[in-house]
Structure 1
Amino acid sequence: MGLVDDIILAMHGDLPALEHLLLENADYLERTAYLYLSNDTDVQDAISDTVLQAIRGIKKLQKPQFFKTWLTKILIRQCYRRYSKRRHDPILIEELPVVPVAGNELSSEQRLDLLAGLRQLNDANRQALLMHYFNGLSILEIAQITKLSPNTIKSQLLRGKQQLRDWLGDDYFAN
């Protein structure tokens, strides 16, 4: 049985099929949540609430091919709820998420700088950067999740990168 078959079964109320889908996406959900939240408890709470909403709302999913996009959108909403409550809390270095930068291993100071820079961005630009560079989502996938045009997403990515460059300095990360 394939992934699409499981999604269709889940859409028709098959809880074991939905459980299988959620387990298949567990690592993805955790990695994504850690990009938005640095606290283990908040990450687990966001994932739990995402799973609960997925169970309640799977029957409303209209197209099986958008399952992951739909699930990501639920998770991001949950993360933003928690993020907005805790964004002024101090960050502990040991709780920092791993920041993927091609070919570079970042020091704790660099990770703090990058995350501080991300916190300076407006929500739309930060979200576009996180989804594209940290989650590996395409511009079209981000557009589907956010219900914005691909050109708007491209603009948010460009503005977000420029704002990070301005915040961190042009030579902070070699491109």
Structure 2
Amino acid sequence: MGKFSYSERLLVKKAIKGDVQALGKLLQKNHEYLYKMAYIYIGNKEDALDIMQEATIQSIKSIHSLKEPSYFLTWFCTIMARQASKVIDQKVKIRALQNNPAYTEPKDPSFNKNQSIDVLEAVISLDDNYRLVLQLFYYQDLSVKEISEVLAMPQGTVKTNLKRGREALRQTLGEDYYV
């Protein structure tokens, strides 16, 4: 997530003033990055696309609240994180209704040589709460306090989920990885 070019900053300013086409152009230019972030948040293609769509709708409604154009991507990713949190909450409720609390996503036992792919796969395989908190902390550079506000959970819970998520990554990846 680099700095915006002059033309992108102009698009953000136009979008803030209500130009929906400018917002669309911004989202289109940054689609690949936003999709990757959504996928990390939620862990599957369909839900990632759903949260991107919901975040787009929400961003159209609230773009006027963006104060600093250079924070557009962070602002949009925060909206996606909130949407991901809602989807995760719904999944948790559905799992509880299905009386299947021991659900785990299947893991691929083969190891890639590319360390970043290994780490990404390990993060995706984590429990939803740990994955989301780790993603916000490491990929979005949000503080514990900011994560607490975004996810509407106590700071202590955020810290606990960070610690447990790191431990789960350490167990999955082994001690050779530097995470």
Instruction: Please state which band the TM-score falls in when normalised by the shorter chain.
Output: 0.5 to 0.7
CA contact 1:47–1:75 (8 Å) conserved in 2: yes
Paired amino acid for 1:91: E
After the TM superposition, which residues 3-42 of structure 1 pair with which residues of structure 2 at under 5 Å, given as runs? 3-42=8-47
After the TM superposition, which residues 1-175 of structure 1 pair with which residues of structure 2 at under 5 Å, given as runs? 2-87=7-92, 88=95, 91-92=105-106, 103=115, 106=118, 111=121, 115-116=124-125, 118-119=126-127, 123=129, 126-133=131-138, 136-139=139-142, 159-160=163-164, 162-164=166-168, 168=171, 171-175=174-178
Q: Compute the TM-score of the two structures, normalised by the length of structure 2.
A: 0.65
CA contact 2:123–2:131 (8 Å) conserved in 1: no
SS in 2 for 1:29: helix
Q: Compute the TM-score of the two structures, normalised by the length of structure 1.
A: 0.66
Structure 2 CA distance for partners of 1:65 and 1:145, relative to 1, 3 Å = farther
Which consecutive unaligned segments of at least 5 residues does structure 1 have? 95-99
The count of corresponding residues between Structure 1 and Structure 2 is 156
How far apart, in 1, do the equivalents of 2:86 and 2:113 lie?
A: 27
Q: CA deviation at 1:75?
A: 0.4
How far apart, in 2, do the equivalents of 1:162 and 1:44 lie?
A: 27
Q: CA deviation at 1:23?
A: 0.7
Which consecutive unaligned segments of at least 5 residues does structure 2 have? 1-5, 96-102
CA contact 1:73–1:145 (8 Å) conserved in 2: no
Q: CA RMSD in A?
A: 3.9
SS in 2 for 1:21: helix
Structure 2 CA distance for partners of 1:145 and 1:55, relative to 1, 3 Å = farther
SS in 2 for 1:13: coil
Q: CA deviation at 1:44?
A: 1.6
Structure 2 CA distance for partners of 1:7 and 1:101, relative to 1, 3 Å = farther
SS in 1 for 2:38: helix
